[in-house]
Amino acid sequence: MTDSNKLAEDRTDWAEDRTVQANERTFAGWMRTGMGALGVAIGLRAVFGEFEPTWAAKGVASIFVVLAIYIFWAAQDAACKTLDRLNDHDAKAQPRWRMRTLAIVFAVGSAFIGAILWAL
């Protein structure tokens, strides 16, 4: 292999590593967005307090809880699909099971928060 071919291969590997890292940052960003949606749901409950009818405020808050759950699941799905298409070289990608576990924990926690919002 010539030096120019090796250099081109190295550049391609580095670009792929940067894409792996960008994918992880994007996943983290979407997880933060989901937490933001969950924060809006909790905030709506605090702002509306004893709003009548109570089901209306709870219904709007529930929309944001469902949105958070969707964002968590979509984030891990997109991140895992991207990782399936890439090879990490020097950068070590987060394992897919870790992304899925985080998404599941966040989604289950969101569902519990939704249930608590309806119970109050």
Low-confidence ranges of the chain (pLDDT < 70): 1-14, 86-91
Q: What span, in angstroms and rounded, lies between the C-alpha atoms of 111 and 115?
A: 6
Q: Residue 21's pLDDT is what? A: 82
pTM over 0.75: yes
C-alpha torsion 21→27→32→34, nearest 10: 180
> What's the residue count for the chain?
120
Q: Residue 51's pLDDT is what? A: 76
Q: Residue 93's pLDDT is what? A: 74
Where do the structural domains in the chain lie, given as residue ranges? 3-119
Q: Residue 33's pLDDT is what? A: 97
Q: Residue 7's pLDDT is what? A: 59
CA distances from 47 to 52, 89, 103 (A): 13, 49, 28
The two tokens of residue 62 are 């529930």
- Yes or no: say if 52 and 75 are a contact pair by the CB < 8 Å rule: no
